Amino acid sequence: MRTASFIIHLERAVARKPQVVKLQSALPQPAETLPAVDGSALDEAQRNAVFRPALHRPRYPFRLRDAEIGTFLSHRRAWEEIVSRRLDFALIVEDDIALNPAEFSCAYDLARAHVAEHGYVRFPWFAKEAPRLEIARSGSCTLFSPRRTGLGMLAQLVSRPAAQRLLAASETFDRPVDTLLQMHWVTGVRPLVAWPSGVREISDRLGGSTIAGRKSAVQTIHREIMRPIYRAQIAIHSRFRQERTR
């Protein structure tokens, strides 16, 4: 079986380099550093080649920041590696996580046993997704299909068929990568969740997020108004699509 582990790391985020080294020794198999795409270095032509507003419904109500585009392209780079190397699956993690070894080992083993069949398993850092269907259980860890996919791309196990579908669905995109992953009717991929995952998000200890940027008061108010509306739209679409595919 051909597998790999990738740690997505932005080279200019030097404060995170020691954490990359820690992750390389903590992950269940040798891990490669995968250079992240620096969204701030993209020119207008590069941005326009991949970003297309209002591609899908429900419409994403915010303009993507350069860092969000870079993050999306970084995950696409990882999916491309899975496909080009003909890997059976790969573990993809971002560089701002810490692991509880015992919990993560249990979650990873459970995900590994089922990723060939289901394609994509997320390791979220907080329990927010409501289970729709339990797939398997091992000790205290459960693998389940959520009612609605949560946000965040900290850690995931991705098979080659899932990577192929994700690449095909995201040659151009109109929203952040984790938001597109919520739309299984677009991607053809239904992510599972392994919980407890043993994954913690520690960006605050590493100098803060490389995605978040300053927002004006108007932008902040706009987001506060539109975010719950968009979430409700996604919930309705997700529920409707699930009912149609039962």
pLDDT at residue 165, as a whole number: 98
pLDDT tens for 30-42 read 999 999 999 999 9
Inside any domain, residue 228: no
On whether residue 129 sits in a domain, the answer given is yes
The string of pLDDT tens digits covering residues 36-92 is 999 999 999 999 999 999 999 999 999 999 999 999 999 999 999 999 999 999 999
Structural domain harbouring 21: 3-214
- pLDDT for 141: 97
Total-model pTM = 0.91
CATH number of the domain within which 41 lies: 3.90.550.10
One DSSP character per residue, 177-219 reads HHHHHT-HHHHS---EEEES--EEE-GGGGTS-SS-----HHH
Is 107 part of any domain?
yes
151 domain residue, yes or no: yes
Q: What is the sign of the dihedral through the CA atoms of 180, 185, 189 and 195?
A: positive
Written as tens digits, the pLDDT of the chain (246 aa) is 999 999 999 999 999 999 999 999 999 999 999 999 999 999 999 999 999 999 999 999 999 999 999 999 999 999 999 999 999 999 999 999 999 999 999 999 999 999 999 999 999 999 889 999 999 999 999 999 999 999 999 999 999 999 999 999 999 999 999 999 999 999 999 999 999 999 999 988 887 666 555 667 767 777 787 888 898 899 888 777 664 444
pLDDT, position 144:
98
